[in-house]
A and B are shown apart, each in its own frame.
Chain A
Amino acid sequence: MRVRTLAMVLLAGGLALSACGKEGTPTDSGQAAPSQSVAADVSVDGSPTFDAIKARGKVVIGVKEDQPGLGYKDPTTNKYSGFDVEVAKLVAAQLGYGEDKIEYKAIPSAGREQAIINGDVDYYVGTYTINDGRKEKISFAGPYFVAGQDLLVKADNTDITGPETLKGKNVCSATGSTPIKRVKDQGLTDKITEFQNYSQCVAKLDEGAVDAVTTDDAILKGYAAAEEGKYKVVGKTFSEEPYGIGLPKDDKALRDKVNDVLQASLDDGTWQKIYDATLGKSGSPATKPTIDRY
């Protein structure tokens, strides 16, 4: 760690001398998300995760870094933004940890359970569908959003209009994700391309190597909005994806606490504000989810 700091100092010095380090972003997309007030003196009795957070003095949150509109890390500023990130911040604030005490960790879909099981992250907020298989390994608070599987195609594509038109088309999705499993299980197509994240799939869609990218509409809308006019979301959802906050299994105390936080934000309008500042920009209205305390 000290070596890293030293190198960092050296680099910073070098940059100062050569003055070639640019700051800021190329595209100014200042998203005005509401700032949250940090709760004080929070205690969650009987939660080993919360004890670990307390001992560490900061909270480690797993997020996505390549999901525009949901969880996205700007490479030029290293700042995270998006709906999921704002929800993560809200929960952290209610646990007593402000933005300066949050450490984000970007974890791709395939590594999520493992990251939670391994304790690499305290909780995970990133397009994480609640299902029974996952509930055996980890537990979920929420849902804080309900998405549905949909298809992203090029704007001029007319022959893909829904899941039933996928036969023979090359469909891309992320390894280890729910959408890919559904496409396989329902036998929608036998040409499946798998990559570690959806950005790689969208890159493949862009170059024309795949015909469609399939995953939750929320994710797809993020891409459609990021490169306006290039892609369109087909708009026929064929599943219901309740997004939950992934927590270590058997930490019921923390789960209840997070559920309370989410419920309160749904009731007092914070949730709506967060949505409007992020995903709401795509133009589609929000449907409030119902917390499922299993």
Chain B
Amino acid sequence: MSVLTNNIDLYLRAFGTTIQLFFFSAIGSLVLGTFLAMLRVSPVPVLRAAATTYVTLLRNTPLTLVFFFFLFAYPLLKILQLEPFPAAAVALTLYTSAFICEVVRSGINTVPVGQAEASRALGLTFSQMLSNVVLPQAVRSVVPPLVSTLIALLKNTTIAAGFSVAEAGSISYSLSEQGEDLLAGLAWVAVFFVVLVIPLTLLQRSLEKRWSVAR
């Protein structure tokens, strides 16, 4: 307990950074992921292929390697200098968006063919059909797995600790510098994560239950 009370500042600051990092990369990957999903269902083969390639590459690369690239290899290309925090956010965004793309795409695929056919028969345009008929239905099967992807993202932010971002994963380094009890200190970090993740899990389960009945 004393580890926590003595270093409460450190914990709050670190978890604050974690949540910021989570927030930025969540928004980024939701936008990019949805965009990629749109490409993957688009009628233009080139765009589909491009999005598929992206998703395949990113899904099969360790996140750590993506981080490694953005922190060390990317700066050598001298395109735009990034501080460690934005670089970490970009790495997390690029990685997570590949997973979000898959979630959204499989959500769209769960909508029965008849729905789209019926809307076309009614004379709706493609965008009307997507926004008024297909997407509202897809959301129900998309949101629960989306929440668990975001939970994974929250946990993945800890990897940034190895790349000079002072978030929750780096608490152990600071505690070690101060010679604190690492076992208790890290156990508290774990507890914090459980506290952050469990409500999200519960939310996801209740959403899933409610919507699976409605379907």
Residues of A at under 8 Å CB distance from B?
110, 133, 136, 175-176, 180-181, 193-196, 200, 203-204, 207-209
Contact = CB atoms under 8 A, between A and B. Distances in A.
A107 to B, nearest CB: 14
Contact of A207 (B76, B173, B179): B76
Which 4 A-B pairs rank lowest in CB-CB distance, beginning with the nearest? A207-B75, A133-B179, A194-B164, A193-B164
B9 interface: no
Chain B contact surface mostly: helix
B53 interface: no
Given A176-B176, A176-B177, A194-B173, A209 B72 contact: no
A199 to B, nearest CB: 10
Interface of B: 72, 75-76, 78, 81, 83-84, 162-164, 166, 170, 173, 176-177, 179
Contacts of A175: 170, 173
A200 B177 contact: no
Contacts of B163: 195
A209 B81 CA distance: 7
8 contacts: A110-B173, A133-B179, A176-B173, A180-B177, A196-B162, A207-B75, A207-B76, A207-B78
Nearest to B161: A175
Given A208-B81, A209-B81, A110 B72 contact: no
A47 to B, nearest CB: 26
B164 to A, nearest CB: 5
Given A200-B72, A207-B76, A110 B84 contact: no
A209 B82 CA distance: 8
B130 to A, nearest CB: 43
Contacts of A110: 173, 176
Nearest to B84: A193
B76 A195 contact: no
Contacts of A193: 84, 164
A248 B163 CA distance: 30
Nearest to A196: B162
Contacts of A196: 162
Contacts of A133: 179
Contacts of B72: 200, 203
Contacts of A195: 163-164
A157 B76 CA distance: 20
A181 B179 CA distance: 12
Contacts of B78: 207
Q: Which of A176, A203, A209 has the most CB of B within 10 A?
A: A209
